[in-house]
Amino acid sequence: MFKKAIESFNAVCNEILEANETMQNKACNGIVLCNKTLTNLKEIVDKNDFNTVPEEIDFFKNIKPVPMSLLIYFTEVRSCELRMPKAGNTYKVEFLQKELRKINKFFYRNADFVHYMEQGYSYLDHQFFTRNHRDNFPFTPMTDYYQFPEFSTSQDMLWAKVKAMYRFIHYIRQALKRLKVDDSDIFEEKKHKVLVWTGPKTALTELIYALFSNGTINHGAADINTITTSFEDFFNIKLDNIYKTYTEIKARKSSKTKFLEELTLNLQQKMYREDQE
C-alpha cells in the first residue's frame, strides 16, 4: 500500500541530493518533497488505517521515518546554512563544532532509546510505534517539523530524528572538509593504513547497494550518496555516476550480483579448507 509512495519518494529525493544546486536550495526542495510525501501517507492512513497492530508498528517504525527523517535532515541543513557565519573560516569551524556538540548531547539524552533500536529489539514496539499511547504523546516544540498527534506515535518522531542526525553528521563532516579541516581535529577516530580498491568499480557498486538495501549502515539512515562518498574516501577511489552503473548491473543478462556471489563462494571455500586442516 505504501511501497509505491516510498519508491517514488526515494527516486525524487536522490535526484534532489545529486542535483547541481547549493545545499540551501537542495534543502528547500527536499522539505517540499518530504511534506508532500508525508501528507500523501497521512491521507492513505486516514482512509484505510491498519488491519493489524504489526502493520501499524511497521508503518511507524520503518515507513513513515523514511520521509520524516529526511524532512528533519533538510530542515537542519537549511537552518545551518542560514545561520552559518558569512566570513572567516575560524568562525565557521567554531559554528560547525558547536553543531556537533548539540548532536552529541542529543544522542546522550536519548542513549537508552538509541540502544534499543541499535540492538534490533522489539519488546517495546507496541508502546513506541502504535497510537494506543496518545496520552503520552510528546508535544515538544520542533520548529518546521511535520507533526500530527493522530498520525504519530510516542517515539516515531524521535526515531526519525535519530536517523536524520546520522545524515546531519555526514553533512557537517563534508562542510568541515571544504574548510580544509583535518578530521583528526574534529573526530577521535583510529587512523587506518591507506587502502586502495583494486577490484572493478562495478563490484564496489554491488557492495554499496547491497549494504544500502540491507539497511546495515547508520540503522538504514545512510543513503546511496552518503555510503558512496564514505567508500570513496576509505578506498581512495572515485565512482563516476554510481546510479548509471547500478542500472547497467540490473540489465545484466547473466548474474546481477556476480561479485556478491563470488564473495560468498570464496568465504565458504576458505571456511571449508580451514575445517579440513
Q: What is the pLDDT of residue 142?
A: 46
Q: What is the pLDDT of residue 182?
A: 55
Contact 76, 168 (CB under 8 A): yes
Q: What is the pLDDT of residue 76?
A: 92
Q: What is the pLDDT of residue 68?
A: 92
Per-residue buried b or exposed e for 104-143, using 16+ beta carbons within 10 Å of the residue's own CB: eebeeebeebbebbeeeeeeebeebbbbeeeeeeeeeeee
Q: Rounded distance, CA 233 to CA 195, Å?
A: 10
Measured CA to CA in angstroms, residue 135 lies from 45, 131, 147, 154, 207 at distances of 20, 9, 15, 9, 44
Using 70 as the pLDDT threshold, list the residues of the chain that sit under it.
133-149, 181-194
Task: Summarize pLDDT for 162-176 with one digit per residue, the tens.
Answer: 999 988 988 888 888
pTM over 0.85? The answer is: no
CA atoms within 13 A on the CB side of 205: 19
CB-based contacts of 225: which residues, under 8 Å, 6+ apart? Answer: 14, 17, 18
- Name the residue among 91, 156, 150, 105 with its Cα closest to residue 127: 156
What ranges do the domains of the chain cover? 3-184, 192-277
Which of 16-20's residues contact partners 24+ apart within 8 Å by CB, and which partners? Answer: 17/223, 17/225, 18/225, 18/243
Contact 130, 53 (CB under 8 A): yes
Region class of 88: left (phi > 0), else alpha (psi between -120 and 50), else beta? left
- Three-state DSSP at 203 gives helix
- Name the residue among 72, 71, 67 with its Cα closest to residue 7: 67
Contact 105, 161 (CB under 8 A): no
Q: What is the pLDDT of residue 84?
A: 87
